[in-house]
Structure 1
Amino acid sequence: MDIEWRYTADAVDWRELAELYRIAPLGKKLPERLEIAFTNSLFKCFLFDNRKLVGAGRALADGVDCSYLCDVAVHPDYQDSGMGASIVNKLVELSRGHSKILLYTDPDTEEFYNSLGFKRMNAAMGIFVSEDKAIAEGILDK
């Protein structure tokens, strides 16, 4: 497998990225919102196999204190290949030098991120637009 890694959003087809999130399955994300999110992220990576988008991820970072990894997705045909771990590891590498590297995940994938060096935090809080959904998914306590 000859995967091409790209670290800029130049020439990304945002509809193709939205479709990747839908089939990953990581939910429905609108192409125009993905464009804003990835464009505003300090670090981003897109993985292509023969021009087909097969993986992506980003880190929203300020350059010194905090880097927040998010939106890591892998095409179903490439899952369980180590590609997701490679994306996370690359974003961590790009984020080195920040005081902290964070992410949030659903409870089902905590073990995966723990295997990549992430530790469960004792204190984290959030405000979600879809609070009921976040509670149902186990992300927020009631």
Structure 2
Amino acid sequence: MTLEWRYTQDGIDWDELADLYRVAPLGNKNSSGLKTVFTASMFKCFVYDSGKLIGAGRVLADGVDCAYLCDVAVRPSHQGTRVGKAIVATLVDLSKDHKKIILYAVPGKEPFYRKLGFKRMTTAMAIFANPAQALATGLVSED
């Protein structure tokens, strides 16, 4: 497996990226929305295997204080091959000059991020556009 890493969105097929998020599975994200969020992100990476997009991730950051690592996705055919770990490590390294790097994980993926040095925050709070869904999927709790 020879991987190609890209750190800009030049030449990205946004429909292919939307398909990656769908099958990863990280939900149905439309291509125009993905273009918007990746354009607004300070750091991003796209991983290809034989010309096929197999992984991606991004970081929203302010350049000094806070970096938010988000949308890390790996195609199921490449999960378990350390591609996800490499994406997270790359994005953390790109964000290293920030005072804090935060993320929220899909419920059940917390052990993966713990192995990469992330610690549970006790004061994190969120407002979701669909609070019932966030509660049902375990992203938030009533307490």
- TM-score range, shorter-chain basis? over 0.9
2-side partners of 1:57 and 1:21: how far apart? Answer: 10
Unaligned regions of 5+ residues in structure 1, if any? Answer: none
Structure 1 residues 40-63: Cα deviation after superposition (integer angstroms, max 9, x where no partner): 100000001121100000000111
Counterpart for residue 39 of structure 2: 39
Measured after TM superposition, the shift of residue 82 of structure 1 is 0.5
Query: Residue type matched to 1:60 in 2?
Result: L
Q: RMSD in angstroms over aligned alpha carbons?
A: 0.6
Measured after TM superposition, the shift of residue 137 of structure 1 is 1.1
After TM superposition, list the pairs within 5 Å mapping 1:116-127 onto structure 2. 116-127=116-127
Measured after TM superposition, the shift of residue 29 of structure 1 is 0.2
Counterpart for residue 6 of structure 1: 6
After TM superposition, list the pairs within 5 Å mapping 1:48-87 onto structure 2. 48-87=48-87
1-side partners of 2:62 and 2:74: how far apart? Answer: 25
Structure 1 residues 91-117: Cα deviation after superposition (integer angstroms, max 9, x where no partner): 000000100000001330001100000
TM score, norm. by length of structure 1: 0.98
Measured after TM superposition, the shift of residue 136 of structure 1 is 0.7
Measured after TM superposition, the shift of residue 141 of structure 1 is 1.1
**Corresponding pairs, count:** 142
1-side partners of 2:24 and 2:105: how far apart? Answer: 15
2-side partners of 1:34 and 1:71: how far apart? Answer: 10
Unaligned regions of 5+ residues in structure 2, if any? Answer: none
Counterpart for residue 138 of structure 1: 138
Q: Does 2:136 match 1:129?
A: no
1-side partners of 2:59 and 2:18: how far apart? Answer: 17
TM score, norm. by length of structure 2: 0.98
1-side partners of 2:83 and 2:114: how far apart? Answer: 16
